[in-house]
Amino acid sequence: MGNNFVIIAGEEAGPKSNKMGGIWNVIHEEAQTLASLFDSGELKEEENPDILLAGPYYGHRGADWNRGLNRITDMEGLDPLSIDGKLKEALKTLENEGINIFTGEKQVGKMKIGYLQFQTDNFGRVRAVHREKETTLENRVKSEAYELLGLDSIKYESMGNGAEYTHYLSLSYAISELVRVLVGSAPKTGAEVEAGKANTTNKLIPCPMVSLHCHEFGAFYALARLKKLGIPACTIATLHATLPGRADGHNSIQKIRKNDSSWSEGVPENLAALEALALYADTVTAVGESTRQEARLFYGISGIVVRNGITIESERIDWDRKERCLEQIQRFLSENLYRHYGGERIEPEKIIPIFTISRIEVENKGYADLLDSLVALEHIIKNSIMEGYLEEGIRVVCFLVTAEGPKTNLPEGFPINLPKEVLVGNELRVQHMIEERGLDCPKMVRGKRSVAAVLYPPIISDQDGGLCMKVEDFMAGCCAGVFPSRYDPFLLTGLEAGKEGTPSVVSRVCGFSDAVKIIEALGENLGGVIVVDNIDLSYYETVLEYALAASYFIRNFVDDRVKYKLLCREAFLLAKDMGWEKPTEQYFELISGKRFFGQGDEAPGKERWKEEPK
């Protein structure tokens, strides 16, 4: 380990945990790509940085503040962290403070990525001293947060989500304490900061040796604390959404247009106080234009857009794998529809699976829009059969993959066999929405419907008790993805579908659609990703557009496999064009203060990474 550190931080359960999506995927890919760029020589420094991933550690059931998700961090498969020098000293110092850190390491070529997972659920049991008085580490963190930034933890921890707030504050404290110890030269009090200014008036302040990139508000107190303590570290705060914007959902677009900065009642005050701390970062970024505008509207924070990305190592689509995954889904549906609902067995090859996957935010993710579009799709499919465009007996099954949390002891044939006893909260609400539109499976089996919706409420995995497929295999096996979000800062799942060579329908409101337009402007568009305008069109027009777009993919899948494969390839190439290289280069440019020029670009008068001759 050297003396130059890039720390990428976020609130997520770590390298491997029982979860669906999350910030971890983002920070992991950023670190992986940064390491690859240095290993390949695309990025160069006099001393390559040590790349560290920082997040929480949930070592057992009940350690997670979110009892519903009950995530467990699994660091098996990582090598032991090879540490020396400043990092070793820093970790020892934090250990002496009572902060437990679980570590690991991953090799990327000649580069290494260090994993630092902080335990926070024990802060209330660790003895500490604050202002010469004995207390717990948790209380010291809260007292200091009030003194530095006015965070009223007595008020905030008494709210319904108080445990979540306290966890974020503790995690951020631990991360910032690591940076403080690594830098090891900044004063700790306001008086010392002023004294330090007086003593360094005629001196150049050296470039910070530690950079901290915090994703989402769960880690923002870390960079704000560093700023208040005067620690010379370069910091970036990345917003993947805003809490006021998420509370307003699709109405946030109208608020931006009207310059209405009022907050809805559903905004959690304590978490919003943490989100507002992005103001203390050296640079604020947002994953989409709508999020950037929300930050300025609701918090008065100006930022720049740096999109999300995806890592695709393959150069081509594995068509044999896609076919195997499709057949597995078709067989599962055919067998279980017959076993649990009787009627005439539907031939597997007549079943066309499509899907959506998201957090269970019913309004924001547009579940009503999707289900209404499936009703419209029902009529389109029937008319296409009557007119001879589609074969008789075609059935479309749309999986709605969304969950309140992990599930156990699921019945055989799940989720076709879906007893309501296993559903909770919004899962029950979505199932009711399916049934009131007549999209439940029994109606399709009895021949009354050609289209059905199937709620898939576990966290999808190869051991989920349902299809038992990895999420990437599930996406690969479906004909298309439909993502009708009314509020979605980026929509990473659209890229993940493209990675598997699966075309998709996305809403205009999501940040992904902006990136699609930019990339498609550079070349021919074959339609692998269809963007539906859900901002300016009426609700009924929007619903019909979703249905028509889905039917476009379905008809080509059934009648013209050559064209369908072109659509799949277009979706794949679009995702490949949106890799993590460009966002990571932009982040490193913000951290290092050096302009990066991509392959084929030339900096006027300069060579890459070299100063202009004097």
**271 and 249 assigned to the same domain:** yes
334-390 per-position pLDDT tens digit: 999 999 998 889 999 999 999 999 988 899 999 999 999 999 999 999 999 999 888
Burial profile 233-261: b = 16 or more Cβ within 10 angstroms, e = fewer: bbbbbbbbbbbbbbbbbbebbebbeeeee
**295 and 327 assigned to the same domain:** no
Judge whether 402 lies within some domain. Answer: yes
| Distance of alpha carbon 8 from alpha carbon 214, whole angstroms | 6
**471 and 399 assigned to the same domain:** yes
Predicted pLDDT of residue 526? 52
User: Which has more confidence, 255 or 513?
Assistant: 255
Nearest to 507 by CA among 467, 459, 468, 539: 539
Answer positive or negative: Cα dihedral of 143, 216, 57, 111.
Answer: negative
Judge whether 135 lies within some domain. Answer: no
Judge whether 606 lies within some domain. Answer: no
Predicted pLDDT of residue 209? 81
Nearest to 479 by CA among 509, 500, 450, 457: 500
Judge whether 240 lies within some domain. Answer: yes
Q: Which residue's entry shows tokens 């000293």?
A: 89
Judge whether 613 lies within some domain. Answer: no
Cβ proximity of 450 and 395 under 8 Å: yes
| Distance of alpha carbon 63 from alpha carbon 524, whole angstroms | 50
**176 and 264 assigned to the same domain:** yes
Predicted pLDDT of residue 437? 97
| Distance of alpha carbon 521 from alpha carbon 526, whole angstroms | 12
Alpha-helical segments (H) within 41-161: 85-96, 137-149, 153-156
CATH of the domain at 73: 3.40.50.2000
Q: Which residue's entry shows tokens 């309501």?
A: 420
| Distance of alpha carbon 307 from alpha carbon 606, whole angstroms | 27
Cβ proximity of 541 and 483 under 8 Å: no
**245 and 362 assigned to the same domain:** no
With pLDDT > 70 as the criterion, what percentage of the chain qualifies?
89
| Distance of alpha carbon 361 from alpha carbon 58, whole angstroms | 25
User: Which has more confidence, 310 or 320?
Assistant: 320
| Distance of alpha carbon 409 from alpha carbon 407, whole angstroms | 7
Per-residue pLDDT for 512 more than 80? no
Alpha-helical segments (H) within 41-129: 85-96
Confidence of residue 123 (pLDDT cuts 50, 70, 90): very high
- Residue where a domain stops, chosen among 260, 275, 305: 305
Confidence of residue 601 (pLDDT cuts 50, 70, 90): very low
Nearest to 507 by CA among 483, 478, 541, 537: 483
Predicted pLDDT of residue 31? 95
Per-residue pLDDT for 132 more than 80? yes
Predicted pLDDT of residue 111? 95
Cβ proximity of 59 and 73 under 8 Å: yes
Nearest to 401 by CA among 435, 370, 441: 370
Mean pLDDT of 499-507: 95
Predicted pLDDT of residue 431? 96
Mean pLDDT of 206-233: 90
Q: Which domain holds residue 85?
A: 5-125+172-191+208-305
Identify whether 415 is preceded by a cis peptide bond (ω within 30 of 0): yes
Predicted pLDDT of residue 185? 44
What are the angstrom distances between the C-alpha of 404 and each of 41, 80, 359, 361, 459? Answer: 44, 34, 8, 10, 9
Predicted pLDDT of residue 208? 42
Q: Phi, psi (5° rounding) for residue 9?
A: -125, 150
**228 and 352 assigned to the same domain:** no
Predicted pLDDT of residue 477? 98
Predicted pLDDT of residue 603? 42
Per-residue pLDDT for 253 more than 80? yes
Per-residue pLDDT for 525 more than 60? no
Cβ proximity of 363 and 250 under 8 Å: yes
| Distance of alpha carbon 474 from alpha carbon 328, whole angstroms | 9
Judge whether 499 lies within some domain. Answer: yes
Judge whether 159 lies within some domain. Answer: no
Per-residue pLDDT for 183 more than 50? yes
Mean pLDDT of 392-409: 90
Cβ proximity of 351 and 395 under 8 Å: yes
Per-residue pLDDT for 196 more than 60? no
DSSP letter, residue 394: -
**DSSP state string for 512-577:** HHHHHHHHHTTS---SSEEEE-TTTS-HHHHHHHHHHHHHHHHHHHHH-HHHHHHHHHHHHHHHHH
Confidence of residue 611 (pLDDT cuts 50, 70, 90): very low
**281 and 351 assigned to the same domain:** no
Half-sphere exposure of 556 (CA within 13 A, CB side): 19
- Computed over its alpha carbons, how large is the radius of gyration of the chain? 26
Mean pLDDT of 282-287: 96
| Distance of alpha carbon 25 from alpha carbon 580, whole angstroms | 12
The angle, 0 to 180 degrees and rounded to 10, between the axes of the packed helices 220-229 and 137-149 is 70
**341 and 218 assigned to the same domain:** no
Confidence of residue 520 (pLDDT cuts 50, 70, 90): low
**300 and 404 assigned to the same domain:** no
- Residue where a domain stops, chosen among 305, 327, 357: 305
Confidence of residue 1 (pLDDT cuts 50, 70, 90): low
**324 and 411 assigned to the same domain:** yes
Predicted pLDDT of residue 613? 39
Nearest to 419 by CA among 405, 407, 406: 407
Span of 158-172, 272-286, 313-327, 587-601 with lowest mean pLDDT: 587-601
Predicted pLDDT of residue 591? 86
Per-residue pLDDT for 607 more than 70? no
| Distance of alpha carbon 127 from alpha carbon 447, whole angstroms | 67
- Residue where a domain stops, chosen among 305, 330, 347: 305
Mean pLDDT of 156-170: 96
Q: Phi, psi (5° rounding) for residue 462?
A: -75, 5
Nearest to 363 by CA among 439, 266, 438, 233: 266
**282 and 351 assigned to the same domain:** no
Mean pLDDT of 68-93: 87
pTM of the model: 0.83
Q: Which residue's entry shows tokens 């008068």?
A: 605
Span of 35-49, 117-131, 187-201, 500-514 with lowest mean pLDDT: 187-201
Mean pLDDT of 99-127: 95
Predicted pLDDT of residue 195? 47
**359 and 267 assigned to the same domain:** no
Confidence of residue 150 (pLDDT cuts 50, 70, 90): very high
Predicted pLDDT of residue 373? 98
| Distance of alpha carbon 216 from alpha carbon 292, whole angstroms | 13
Q: Phi, psi (5° rounding) for residue 134?
A: -75, 140
Is residue 71 exposed (0-12), middle (13-18) or buried (19+ Cβ within 10 Å)? buried
Confidence of residue 403 (pLDDT cuts 50, 70, 90): confident
Mean pLDDT of 79-88: 88
The angle, 0 to 180 degrees and rounded to 10, between the axes of the packed helices 581-592 and 23-40 is 80
Per-residue pLDDT for 539 more than 90? yes
Domain count, the chain: 2
Judge whether 143 lies within some domain. Answer: no
